[in-house]
Structure 1
Amino acid sequence: MHIAATPTEHALPFRAGDFATLTEALDYASGGDTGFNFYTGRGHIYAMLSFATLREEATTLARQLLSLGLSRGDRVALVAETDPHFVRFFYACQYAGLIPVALPASVKLGGHETYVAQLRRLLEASDAAVAVASEGYLGFLSEAAEDHGLLRVDTPDAFYALPVDADMPLPDVAPGDIAYLQYTSGSTRFPRGVIIRHETAMANLQGIIQHGLSINGSDRLMSWLPFYHDMGLVGFVLTPVAAQISVDYLDTREFAMRPRQWLKMMTQSKATISFAPSFGYDLCARRVRESDLAAYDLSHWRAAGIGAEMIRPRTLEFFAEMLAPCGFDRRAFVACYGMAECTLGVSFSPLQSGYTTHHIDSDHLADHHEAVLMDPGESDGRGRHFVNCGVPLPSFEVEIRDVDGNALPDWKSGVIHLRGPSVMSGYYNLPEETAEALCGDGWLNTGDIGYLADGVLTITGRKKDLIIIHGRNIWPQDLEHLAETLPEVRVGDALAFSAPDHEGEEMCVLVVQCRDTDPNRRHSLVRRLTAMLRQELGLDCYVRLVPVHSLPRTSSGKLSRAKARLDFIAEHDADELGAVAEELRLRVASA
């Protein structure tokens, strides 16, 4: 049966996200004929869900969920595959006064136990009452839910088959109600659920629509980002509803296997806005062949957003040069900064101006926490290009602070602090972590490092200790804990961090104190650690053994990942890092 995609042009008067709640936004969008469109990896549409149909089905499902005896504020865990089921359940929760929790839909080869353990921790952390997954994921979810006393763990179809009382009143939804919990894509062992209220989400959506991207009724979105990530959920599930515009989806796994399909779909739908982390642009451009170029038309792509990890100018240049013959305009790049704790977007570079960089003396920045511009022609190894992430949305106050909490002037580097209506209420059921992140006066300590210059925000470092490899956030504690499960490794013997390899790309490093001097047993330890990290976390990691008492510590006696990282970088020149990268490749191949 032929399925037609929802249109781009439509007659419903455009509203730029000026709604009080997510349900009010869908109520309005349902008056038009735009909506969600889902595509196979071959580029064929297999499902269409207009906003009108979504509202009807979501309100029916809301009553079915409430028929289970759920109470207002109960959590509903959803394995977030890129399909219509997730969208229905997410909005059904909004109408029912329930709180959806998006669970990752990602099982790596050989990672059954790891994935089940991750789901189990998320179910525990959110104290979910109900959990939903497709047939393909139900086994994992059921295993994770054992002994947790959930009311029901089942497939979407099983919930659709529940009896429905059409006269059952739905609760009033207030701006201060919790809309959803966003579990940050970092630690699987210590998950943190960001509390996002309706008013919080709508403040950010309005800022993105009006100021960040200047969305209008003629725009169309296209995305392959996962729904369980804040950029995928807020940027490409909530934004189209709040702006009444259509969106086309390609499953994340399909993109990974066929990255050129992104360009084919942009050509086919004439989408105007699409986002990706750096690695997505790189992967796509590297798969494009010269013979493909004539088939693409990217002239409609006016906002090519880039964020979620440190932005690499070389990647953007490569993509722009490769696809210029297809009508891609490098001025479409929109460098952004955001985080789940702020719902999503914080700053956006100016539209139709491309990205800009500062060529900074990296030695001076490290030693004096000050960004000093260098002549781009200088090539003595000290200079580094940082991509500017634009101007913060008008609703945000931004301060750069030193270690003592003092606000710093322009060009001084420090910790980025934010305040505004898009900032989270806290972490769910984690008062200590909430108190650490949120000051009493409403300021959020992002943990990210950067500086301001003439109102423009530039990021120079990531959240403390967080490892980001190809857009994937990894908490070092997870690697260290796995290492400590081996009998040769004691608690406190391991430190994990990322470091640039010989090509400037981040690689994962695990430094382990080893008491054994026998070469064969040391080799066995490295081999087992390498294999375990790949099997349990799907991660290629360089394992280095060091003598006891050699891991660096802070002045207060705590192990210092930051110092270990700096020491590793200082000890290896470019040639040595190339050898390290090759050694890692061989270790992984033999693991």
Structure 2
Amino acid sequence: MATLSPNATSALAPTPTDDDLPRRFSDFATLGEALDYAARGRRGLNFHDPRGTLVHSYLFAELRDDALAMAHRLVAHGIAPGDRVALVAETGPEFAALFFGAVYAGAWPVPLPMPTSFGGKDHYIDQLSVQLASSDPSVLFYPPELAEMAAAAADKCKVEGIDWDDFAARTVSEAPLPEQRHDEICYLQYSSGSTRFPHGVAITHAALLNNLSAHSHGIELQDSDRVVSWLPWYHDMGLVGCLLSPVANQVSTDYLKTEDFARRPLAWLDLISRNQGTTLSYSPTFGYDICARRMSTQMKAKHRFDLARWRVAGNGADMIRPDVMRAFTVAFAADGFDGHAFLPSYGLAEATLAVSIMPPGEGIRVDMVDEHLLSGAEPVAGQRPRQRAIVNCGKAVKDMAIAIRGADDAPLDDGAIGKVWCKGPSVMAGYFRDPESTGACLVDGWLDTGDMGYLKDDYLYIVGRAKDMIIINGKNYWPQDIEWAVEQLPAFKAGDIAAFSITADNGEETPAILVQCRTTDDAERARLQAEIKDRVRAITGMQTIVELVPPRTLPRTSSGKLSRAKARAMYLSGEIQPFAIGA
């Protein structure tokens, strides 16, 4: 860290929650202007080790100094306005300084994923290569520990690769920096599902700051608030919600690296317990799930945590499961956690981040919906309809409009299920160099989100992804329901199952389920396969193809979500080879 601000590591006291600088809620023309203002105060970013010990406090003023130095280095290196600057998004001051440095230089930073625990070296090189080919950057910056893989991807795409520690050590040559404009592109964000066929979402300064203002308004940001986050900075919720929003709204933030959370999930709750203010912290459903599962009876008896100041426990980025939220509330009620702190939301990178947010304090609210309304099938006479809990994802954020449209794109009435569309100043400019895909989802300023849902009393309920829907004999099935059914069996957990439809030899659509299996006993595998089939048939009434596959086989998106589309393609191509049970 000596290559950044000389005093960046001099004090290990966290940046304060309170500040005399008057709060401004993202009312800036550009992101650079937002950092300029935040740098006038005493707040900043705080980085913690795997056990939650503070190792680096980073004032916004220090971030601005480092970012300006990086901007001058970039200009001296030949980076011009509009050039893409790819950055491996490691949670730390180096990435933050380079990201804002690229912005000050008029370039477009492109956050790219860190390696995950699955897939291995070759998979990561391929993943980086695909997104490098799509974004066509002038340079790729990476942390020294990833030099081998990142350099290999850069070389494969004929992109210059630079160790960011080496770059930070270069002499700063003062030169005029280009003026930023609010209607210019600020950065490229790769949306979820973009691992194989990437879509670089182009976000302007104006769109970003509008959404950040709407987000702070939606969560009713207070002077006593402080953010705690482990979310990755290459995903919109981590980058926009937990890095750019704290800068534009002047909020001190405490970080754990994503990989450290994965190894020790409860370190997240430890950090919240030690928080110096009221806490804002977000997670997809699986983060709450893994924490609740890690709590033993002994831990519950010790009241290990202090979660009473957790004001906003945000939930988004994936389907919200009320059973998980209930389990988390029960697990941590004795530690002061109040279930009303849950704040469901809905958003996507194509809308910068937030589309809808639940009003704070309302918690998880569900709507019980008859399955036949979700599937489009006729109810069976004399049978009590099966119901599914659909989570309320709140109301449209400030300046955003939401509409539900049918198959003919005509607006639907309250309560009718259809495609979710949204329109507002924070909708993307388009997909980078992909006018066909842009035109397919942007129509007269309205964005087709690709999600299915309905509105009721101005509240948005998300049912699932339209593209993932399984349609058998004219009846619609959500893969999440099938996957959830298998997850209830003791041998499996969330993320082990991918459900999708395939075309059988007779030409009919058939549901298929890939299940990651850890047992090596062939008889046990056969028993599990039969149990899965029975379980799914009992809940959905469907006969299914069940294939057991090795652990770490199912593909993920850049943000770590299950990619059903890719799993289906890999299965049909033979790239995923199931266990030969009973052979």
Scaled by the length of structure 2, the TM-score of the pair is 0.81
Q: Would you say the 8 A contact 1:465–1:561 is kept in 2? A: no
Q: Would you say the 8 A contact 1:217–1:243 is kept in 2? A: no
Cross-structure match for 1:215 = 221
Cross-structure match for 1:413 = 417
Displacement after TM superposition at 1:502 (Å): 7.3
SS at match of 1:500: helix
SS at match of 2:393: coil
Partner of residue 357 from structure 1, selected from 346, 349, 366:
366
Cross-structure match for 2:448 = 445
Q: Name structure 1 gaps, 5 residues minimum.
A: 371-377, 468-495, 508-537, 554-559, 563-567
Displacement after TM superposition at 1:163 (Å): 2.4
Partner of residue 82 from structure 2, selected from 67, 73, 81:
73
Displacement after TM superposition at 1:185 (Å): 2.2
Q: How far, CA to CA, are the matches of 1:220 and 1:578 in structure 2?
A: 50
Q: How far, CA to CA, are the matches of 1:50 and 1:202 in structure 2?
A: 21
Amino acid at match of 2:82: G
Q: How far, CA to CA, are the matches of 2:309 and 2:85 in structure 1?
A: 38
Amino acid at match of 1:193: G
Is the alpha carbon distance of 1:278 and 1:380 closer, same or farther for their aligned partners in structure 2, counting shifts above 3 Å? farther
Cross-structure match for 1:287 = 294
Partner of residue 243 from structure 2, selected from 230, 233, 237:
237
TM-align CA RMSD: 3.2
Displacement after TM superposition at 1:217 (Å): 2.1
Return 572-581 or 409-418, whichever deviates more: 572-581
Is the alpha carbon distance of 1:545 and 1:396 closer, same or farther for their aligned partners in structure 2, counting shifts above 3 Å? closer
Displacement after TM superposition at 1:292 (Å): 3.0
Amino acid at match of 1:457: L
Cross-structure match for 2:567 = none
SS at match of 2:70: helix
Amino acid at match of 1:548: D
Amino acid at match of 1:225: L
Q: How far, CA to CA, are the matches of 2:383 and 2:398 in structure 1?
A: 37
Cross-structure match for 1:373 = none
Is the alpha carbon distance of 1:579 and 1:44 closer, same or farther for their aligned partners in structure 2, counting shifts above 3 Å? farther
Cross-structure match for 2:210 = 203
Is the alpha carbon distance of 1:356 and 1:129 closer, same or farther for their aligned partners in structure 2, counting shifts above 3 Å? same
Q: How far, CA to CA, are the matches of 1:114 and 1:448 in structure 2?
A: 28
Cross-structure match for 1:552 = 509
Amino acid at match of 1:243: N
Displacement after TM superposition at 1:350 (Å): 1.4
Q: How far, CA to CA, are the matches of 1:570 and 1:216 in structure 2?
A: 47
Cross-structure match for 1:183 = 190
The aligned runs of 1:232-311 (5 Å cut-off) are: 232-270=238-276, 271-293=278-300, 294-311=303-320
SS at match of 1:309: coil
Partner of residue 163 from structure 1, selected from 140, 158, 171:
171
Amino acid at match of 2:117: K
Q: Deviations over 1:522-564 (max 9, x none)?
A: xxxxxxxxxxxxxxxx9765899985243539xxxxxx999xx
Cross-structure match for 1:44 = 53
Displacement after TM superposition at 1:240 (Å): 0.5
Q: How far, CA to CA, are the matches of 2:385 and 2:478 in structure 1?
A: 23
Cross-structure match for 2:481 = 500
The aligned runs of 1:105-144 (5 Å cut-off) are: 105-109=114-118, 111-144=120-153
Q: How far, CA to CA, are the matches of 1:326 and 1:318 in structure 2?
A: 14
Cross-structure match for 2:427 = 423
Q: Deviations over 1:469-511 (max 9, x none)?
A: xxxxxxxxxxxxxxxxxxxxxxxxxxx994534753679xxxx
Is the alpha carbon distance of 1:452 and 1:109 closer, same or farther for their aligned partners in structure 2, counting shifts above 3 Å? closer
Q: How far, CA to CA, are the matches of 1:191 and 1:220 in structure 2?
A: 34
Is the alpha carbon distance of 1:501 and 1:98 closer, same or farther for their aligned partners in structure 2, counting shifts above 3 Å? same
SS at match of 1:314: helix
Q: Would you say the 8 A contact 2:236–2:348 is kept in 1? A: yes
Is the alpha carbon distance of 1:79 and 1:427 closer, same or farther for their aligned partners in structure 2, counting shifts above 3 Å? same
Q: How far, CA to CA, are the matches of 2:299 and 2:24 in structure 1?
A: 38
Return 335-344 or 42-51, whichever deviates more: 42-51
Q: Would you say the 8 A contact 1:217–1:244 is kept in 2? A: no
Q: Would you say the 8 A contact 2:227–2:281 is kept in 1? A: yes
Cross-structure match for 2:94 = 85
Is the alpha carbon distance of 1:291 and 1:11 closer, same or farther for their aligned partners in structure 2, counting shifts above 3 Å? farther
The aligned runs of 1:349-498 (5 Å cut-off) are: 349-367=358-376, 380=384, 382-439=386-443, 441-465=444-468, 498=479
